[in-house]
Every structure is written in structure tokens, then in C-alpha cells.
């Protein structure tokens, strides 16, 4: 905590936090990202810490997923994570390595973390890859667009599942 005055901005954060906690207590949270024209808006359900239903009709493709995870204009996951099959020199250390994550977490848990990790950890620094609301001051080129499309989310999840 910063020693000092109360901050108005935190009143609002705490308020949304409380709402979110209530929603989690209720066991269900429905987020409905509005997406841009290219990616259809997909509504999904969070149940017991998972998103069980895929966001896209086509099954995820691990090879495409690896590319989307690596792309600097895509997931760029190695900014924070080390990944077992990517070059270690470019790997960040802001987050735990993803080695073995496909064995540790279920598909639904992986999907929730890619879609919006803040549901799992409110203070997370991991970006929500499939959310467009609740963001501020987004650069014009990225406004109203999730970082990954629904199909890319599925591809990345398929890739993460291979990390065993």
C-alpha cells in the first residue's frame, strides 16, 4: 500500500472487485465481450473456474496456436512467460514458465486464463486476451478488439494442452 491519502480511483476498483467477488461466489460469471466486425461476439460461461465450451466452432489447432502465442502482434506470451519450445533468451520472467501447464490445468481452466486471467486473480498483470470492456485509453488501432480472436483463443488453448 502506498502510505498516504485515500484514492478515488481505488474506490471504483474496489467496487467492481466486490461485484466480481459476488459474481464468483454465485459461481457463475457471464462476460460478454463486444468484438469487432471480423470476430463475432461470443458469450461464454464461467463455471467452477473453467470455460468449458469452446469459443469457436472449429477445433483449436496447436500449430496455429503456437504461432499466435509467439507473434509479437498476437499473444506475445514470451514477454512474460518462458515457453518450452521457444527461445529462452527472449523469454520474460514476469510470470511462471508454462512448461507442463497442459498437464497442470484442464482445458477449461486454460481457456479461462487466456480469455481473462483477472477472473482467477483480480490483480493479475496478464492481459485478458478475449475482452474488450473495462479497458481505458486503448490506442485507436486496438479499440473494441480483443487481443486474440475467438478462433485464436481456441488455437492457443490447443497449443497449451500440448505443453505436458
How many residues bind other proteins, per CB under 8 A? 38
Alpha-carbon dihedral sign for residues 119, 105, 115, 58: negative
117 binds, options ligand HEC, other proteins, none, Cβ within 5 to 8 A by partner type = ligand HEC
Q: Is 58 in the site for other proteins (CB under 8 A)?
A: no
Determine phi and psi for 124, rounding to 5 degrees: -60, 150
Q: Assess contact for 44 and 115: CB atoms under 8 A.
A: yes
Contact criterion met (CB below 8 Å) for 127 and 147 = yes
Which does residue 138 bind out of other proteins, ligand HEC, none, counting CB within 5 to 8 angstroms by kind?
other proteins
Contact between 135 and ligand HEC by CB under 6 A: the answer reads no
Give the one residue of 40, 41, 71, 125 binding other proteins; rule: CB under 8 A. 125
66 near ligand HEC (CB under 6 A)? no
Q: For residue 51, which of 24, 33, 30 has the smallest C-alpha distance? A: 30
**Residue 107 beta carbon to ligand HEC: minimum distance, rounded to whole angstroms:** 11
Integer Cα distance of 124 and 33 in angstroms:
19
Nearer to ligand HEC, 63 or 121 (CB): 121
150 interacts with ligand HEC by CB under 6 A: no
The grid cell for 78 is 514470451
Closest CA to 112 of 28, 12, 14, 17: 28
Residues that bind other proteins (CB under 8 A): 1-2, 5, 7-10, 13-14, 17-18, 21, 76, 78-80, 89-94, 122-123, 125, 127-128, 134-142, 145, 147
Amino acid at each position: 500500500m502506498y502510505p498516504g491519502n485515500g484514492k478515488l480511483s481505488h474506490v471504483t476498483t474496489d467496487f467492481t472487485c466486490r461485484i466480481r467477488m459476488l459474481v464468483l461466489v454465485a459461481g457463475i460469471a457471464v462476460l460478454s465481450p463486444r468484438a469487432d466486425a471480423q470476430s463475432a461476439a461470443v458469450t461464454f460461461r464461467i463455471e467452477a473456474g473453467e470455460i468449458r465450451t469452446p469459443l469457436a466452432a472449429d477445433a483449436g489447432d496447436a500449430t496455429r496456436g503456437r504461432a499466435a502465442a509467439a507473434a509479437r502482434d498476437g499473444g506475445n506470451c514470451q514477454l512474460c512467460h518462458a515457453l518450452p519450445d521457444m527461445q529462452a533468451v527472449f523469454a520474460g520472467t514476469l510470470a511462471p514458465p508454462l512448461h507442463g501447464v497442459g498437464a497442470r490445468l484442464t482445458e477449461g481452466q486454460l481457456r479461462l486464463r487466456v480469455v481473462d486471467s483477472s477472473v482467477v486473480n483480480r490483480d493479475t498483470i496478464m492481459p485478458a486476451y478475449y475482452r474488450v470492456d473495462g479497458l481505458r485509453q486503448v490506442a485507436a488501432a486496438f479499440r473494441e478488439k480483443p487481443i486474440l480472436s475467438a478462433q485464436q483463443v481456441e488455437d492457443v488453448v490447443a497449443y497449451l494442452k500440448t505443453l505436458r
